[in-house]
């Protein structure tokens, strides 16, 4: 028997502010989105992937976030997620917000990277085939490209929407100055640009320094934050020792031992503030983001369903966080 979503998945959520307006647009997004960057690739457990999607949807997380190169292997996260959507969510596609991106290297040669019209349109065509979808809800340019005219990249995004292959567009890893220029072009093209996706956490304030956060808010664009737990540093996992089976030991591409050791004193101080307030460090880190008026959604990663539930519990403790926000 196939998946049957929880009947109470929207209970009280439409009335209590769970879903948030994405900037000035009409699109409502949940406060948490499920990211497929890790754990949805070629060598990951398919049943676990399904159970994570079921757990998310049953608890009101309607937004699934992908990119063309997510895996490994590149493209495999789209293949696996697309299969889950087709086989398990067929009657509920219109309750989902599916996003994908292009901007990083996806195939060999000069046309599989960065921000040209040829790359972006070809990449989305490939993504739609992998997922078995007619369209995505949000399509992002994944990173700035200094060697392609900004007008060309933005016109490609506009063409994608006009072709019906995406409903909205977003920008990822842009800074505030480039965002201003891009927004003007997209506005003139009448292209529904509604959201920015950037790294943001208590430990990484780059978007505050480069103007992205303030600029997005002033322009009426939503912000979705990835790496809210700083690749696991903002959890209790590394407060004492570094576990032998942790990702930092198994795969040091995104988090290195030196990062942990250099931040440990700061992490211990943050953990003390969280503990005094009755929060876990990870809960405080998520609440810190969700409490900001500029932030629409926090993008969570998970390796098992229980971690999704834990992040939902963090959202539920937002009122408790408001009592200590000035301490951080």
183-210 pLDDT per residue, tens = 999 999 999 999 999 999 999 999 999 9
Q: Which of 45, 48, 60 is nearest to 6 (CA)?
A: 60
Averaged pLDDT for residues 20-25: 98
- Ranking 113-122, 148-157, 206-215, 252-261 by mean pLDDT, the lowest is 252-261
Beta strand 222-226 pairing with 63-65: unpaired
Position 231 scores a pLDDT of 87
Q: How confident is the model at residue 57 (pLDDT cuts 50, 70, 90)?
A: very high
Let me know if 117 is exposed, middle or buried by CB neighbors in 10 A (0-12, 13-18, 19+).
middle
- Higher-pLDDT residue of 110 and 323 is 110
The pLDDT of residue 250 is above 60: no
d(CA 160, CA 104): 18
Position 323 scores a pLDDT of 79
Q: How confident is the model at residue 240 (pLDDT cuts 50, 70, 90)?
A: confident
Cβ distance 321 to 291 under 8 Å?
yes
Averaged pLDDT for residues 143-160: 98
d(CA 151, CA 122): 18
d(CA 182, CA 125): 23
The pLDDT of residue 8 is above 60: yes
The pLDDT of residue 34 is above 60: yes
Cα-only R_g, the chain: 19
Q: How confident is the model at residue 281 (pLDDT cuts 50, 70, 90)?
A: very high
Provide the 8-state DSSP code for 92. Answer: G
Position 251 scores a pLDDT of 58
Q: Which runs of consecutive H residues, i.e. helices, occur in 132-256?
A: 150-162, 176-188, 206-209, 212-219, 247-250
Residue 289 tokens, joined: 């983001």
Position 242 scores a pLDDT of 66
Q: How confident is the model at residue 16 (pLDDT cuts 50, 70, 90)?
A: very high
The pLDDT of residue 298 is above 70: yes
Say how many C-beta atoms besides its own lie within 10 A of residue 236's C-beta: 14
- Ranking 172-176, 187-191, 227-231 by mean pLDDT, the lowest is 227-231
Position 149 scores a pLDDT of 98
Cβ distance 155 to 117 under 8 Å?
yes
Cβ distance 60 to 30 under 8 Å?
yes
Share of the chain above pLDDT 70, in %: 95
Position 116 scores a pLDDT of 98
Provide the 8-state DSSP code for 230. Answer: G
- Ranking 159-163, 208-212, 219-223, 276-280 by mean pLDDT, the lowest is 276-280
Averaged pLDDT for residues 78-86: 98
Looking up tokens 């159970």 gives 51
Cβ distance 306 to 54 under 8 Å?
no
- Higher-pLDDT residue of 201 and 254 is 201
Query: C-alpha 146: how far from its chain's center?
Result: 24
Residue 248 tokens, joined: 């930092």
Strand partners, 65: 35, 99
Position 247 scores a pLDDT of 62
Q: Give, for 328, the enclosing helix (H) or strand (E).
A: none
Query: C-alpha 17: how far from its chain's center?
Result: 20
Cβ distance 127 to 160 under 8 Å?
no
Beta strand 166-172 pairing with 193-199: parallel
* Coil vs helix vs strand at 41: coil
d(CA 225, CA 198): 5
The pLDDT of residue 249 is above 60: no
Position 253 scores a pLDDT of 63
The pLDDT of residue 325 is above 90: no
Q: Which of 36, 13, 53, 65 is nearest to 222 (CA)?
A: 65
Q: If you average pLDDT over every residue of the chain, what do you get? A: 94
Say how many C-beta atoms besides its own lie within 10 A of residue 258's C-beta: 10
Beta strand 193-199 pairing with 297-300: unpaired
- Ranking 7-21, 32-46, 250-264 by mean pLDDT, the lowest is 250-264
Position 64 scores a pLDDT of 98
Q: How confident is the model at residue 4 (pLDDT cuts 50, 70, 90)?
A: very high
């Amino acid at each position: 028997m196939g998946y049957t979503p929880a009947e109470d998945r929207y209970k009280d959520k439409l009335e209590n502010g769970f879903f948030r307006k994405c900037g000035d647009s009409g699109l409502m997004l949940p406060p948490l989105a499920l990211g497929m960057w890790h754990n949805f690739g070629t060598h990951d457990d398919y049943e676990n992937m399904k159970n994570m999607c079921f757990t998310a949807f049953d608890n009101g997380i309607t937004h699934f976030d992908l990119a063309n190169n997510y895996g490994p292997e590149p493209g495999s996260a789209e293949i696996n997620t697309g299969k889950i959507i087709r086989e398990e969510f067929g009657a509920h596609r219109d309750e989902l917000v599916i996003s994908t991106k292009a901007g990083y290297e996806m195939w060999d040669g000069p046309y599989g990277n960065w921000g040209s019209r040829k790359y972006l349109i070809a990449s989305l065509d490939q993504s739609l085939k992998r997922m078995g979808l007619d369209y995505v809800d949000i399509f992002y340019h994944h990173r700035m490209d200094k060697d392609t005219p900004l007008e060309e990249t933005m016109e490609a995004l506009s063409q994608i929407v006009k072709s019906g292959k995406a409903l909205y567009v977003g920008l990822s890893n842009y800074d505030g100055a480039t965002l201003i220029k891009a927004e003007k072009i997209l506005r003139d093209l009448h292209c529904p640009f509604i959201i920015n996706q950037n790294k943001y956490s208590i430990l990484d304030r780059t978007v505050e320094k480069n103007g992205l956060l303030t600029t997005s808010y002033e322009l009426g664009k939503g912000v979705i934050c990835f790496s809210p737990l700083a690749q696991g540093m903002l959890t209790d996992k590394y407060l004492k020792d570094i576990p032998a089976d942790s990702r930092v030991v198994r795969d040091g591409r995104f988090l290195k031992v030196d990062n942990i050791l250099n931040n440990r004193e700061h992490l211990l101080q943050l953990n003390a503030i969280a503990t005094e307030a009755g929060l876990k460090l990870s809960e405080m880190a998520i609440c810190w983001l969700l409490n900001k008026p500029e932030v629409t959604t926090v993008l969570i990663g998970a390796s098992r369903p229980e971690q999704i539930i834990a992040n939902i519990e963090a959202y539920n403790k937002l009122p408790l966080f408001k009592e200590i926000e000035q301490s951080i």
